[in-house]
Structure 1
Amino acid sequence: MGRERELGAVEQAVQSLREGRSGVLLLAGEPGIGKTRLLRELVVRARAADVLTLYGRATEYERDRTFGLFVDALDDHVAAVGTSGLPLPREADRELTRILPSWGSGEETHPSRLREERHRGHWALRALLRALSEARPVLLALDDMHWADPASAEMLSYLLRHPVREQLLLAMAFRQEEVPPPLATELATAVRDGSARRLDIAPLSEQEADGLFRPGLHPGARRRIYQDSGGNPFYLLELARASSESSGAAAVLAHRPEVEAAAHADPVPRRYARPSPAN
């Protein structure tokens, strides 16, 4: 699907991580533009390079789940490999039993108390990430970060202010306009001081989109669908499907399963929906 610039940045981030350097990669863009697809490509390439990949995704309806984004990213790994052998301070170990369900049989902590004491959780989670990255390169990939619960958003701000210096790549995909203001400020500061790299995911060019249409489709039809979609992969796919259904013609896009997967990777809320193209 094109994206040579973005894929080059993804490859460069993986290479830097393999060489032992830490970093932050930010993937920003409108709904349906392909942020999730690029983040998943980063995960695939990192795994191929023998990087420990930890993937978490925030959801709009779980913002009351304290540290939910980090639980989603870390808990399965903890459950699979256990906690023995990690060089963690005793206090961090105790805090992690309150945050990660798979960490062990720690004391039960009421959610309100966990929220009040979450600054201790920030320190403990950072200690865990540091311990993991001392053993091997680590990718922490967080999708739909704009929906993070308050504790997770504060944790991200904490990591940006106190980065893990060992081999850790923190990658986040998000919609800029929905990021909580305090975290948005921290992101902007990190980009400005050079500790983070930001990629604003642009629409597909007309040439990139042209490669998705089936051969023989009239140039005027290609141009109309592209212009109506604005180069957004999700809208391009939906408009192409609507065009073929309304006309009774064959599919206007070439059969490319990865195109549909990429287009539907980023959910598009109704409030972002664009008007249907004119017939």
Structure 2
Amino acid sequence: MEQGFVGRTGELDRLRARLEEARGGRGGLVLVVGEPGIGKTRLARELARRAGEAGVPVGWGRASDAEGSPPYWVFRQLARSLDRPFPTGDTGGSAEARFAAFEAFADSLREAAAPHGLLAVLDDVQWADAASLALLVHLARDLDRAPVLLVVTYRDTETTGREALTAALAALAREPVLTRIRLAGLSEAEVVEQLGRGGVSADLATLVSRRSGGNPFFVTELARLAGTAGDALPDGVVDTVRARLARLSEPCRALVATAAVLG
């Protein structure tokens, strides 16, 4: 059920303003943060759509949690989307060689940005490898002199135990080019608007809003129950909840199970 882009007006305005600054020569880094399903990727896609309409080149890379994914995977994808080479030859060598390779990639992004600026999106960076995170930090340190806007999305619920990620986030927090956007659930009015486009009544949309907390993924999945019998949750919601519970310790899962029984 796709009802189009709803809400996030303030967040989108901030992103568009940063993109205009980048096109003017002062690049930046925006971290878009939130729980799974909250709309981070959707917001980045909407920005990318509008950037493309304005003639701004757009590159996209997505980190992977799959075993065997190579180092720098998110940046390899970004380079491929921009039809640019990735300097694989020296990134695994000495510190000096790696620094030179990082600089070569930064130069390549600046070339891709001429003359209209560049929007580069790195999605799901909570899964990025340590090498990719090191390159991200390196790029951020020189963005203020590049016509490039880097938009990075990550799940702040999945940082525990990811030492390279937490170290990179700490390093990025010290950079003046950084803007952080934390997404919360859609408002009740926004959920009513979103589901109303799909023919869902305002009363049911209000109920979905309250049950979902405005999380767009849960909103869409729960709305699929409209017109069906029973209170069973959609498979997509069940699978997502199971995945989240699987990351908890055994005592935490036992506590959640007890609360569910009592609740």
TM over 0.5: yes
Aligned residue type for 1:18: R
Aligned to 1:12: 17
Aligned to 1:162: 142
Moved more, 174-183 or 47-56: 174-183
- RMSD, aligned α-carbons: 3.4
Total equivalences in the alignment:
231
Aligned to 1:186: 171
Instruction: State the percentage of identical aligned residues.
Output: 32
CA distance in 1, matches of 2:92, 2:38: 37
CA offsets, 1:143-197, max 9 Å, x none?
Answer: 111111221111111122333612111111111243511112123223xxx4211
Aligned to 1:87: none
Question: Could you tell me the TM-score, scaled by structure 2's length?
Answer: 0.74
Q: Unaligned regions of 5+ residues in structure 1, if any?
A: 84-94, 100-110, 249-262
Aligned residue type for 1:182: A
CA distance in 1, matches of 2:146, 2:202: 54
Aligned to 2:215: 232
Q: How does 1:236-275 map to 2 (within 5 A)?
A: 236-247=219-230, 268=240, 270-272=242-244
Aligned residue type for 2:190: E
Assess, with a 3 A threshold, how the Cα gap between structure 1 residues 218 and 200 changes in structure 2: closer, same or farther: closer
Q: How does 1:141-220 map to 2 (within 5 A)?
A: 141-163=121-143, 165-179=145-159, 180-190=165-175, 194-214=176-196, 217=201, 219=203
Aligned to 2:89: 98
Report how far residue 39 of structure 1 moved.
Answer: 0.6
CA distance in 2, matches of 1:247, 1:205: 26
Aligned residue type for 2:174: T
Moved more, 199-208 or 136-145: 136-145
CA distance in 2, matches of 1:218, 1:32: 22
Residue 128 of structure 1 is aligned with which of 80, 101, 108? 108
CA distance in 1, matches of 2:200, 2:74: 46
Q: Unaligned regions of 5+ residues in structure 2, if any?
A: 1-5, 160-164, 246-255
Assess, with a 3 A threshold, how the Cα gap between structure 1 residues 114 and 39 changes in structure 2: closer, same or farther: farther
Q: Does 1:67 align with 2:72?
A: yes
CA distance in 2, matches of 1:178, 1:114: 31
Aligned residue type for 1:217: S
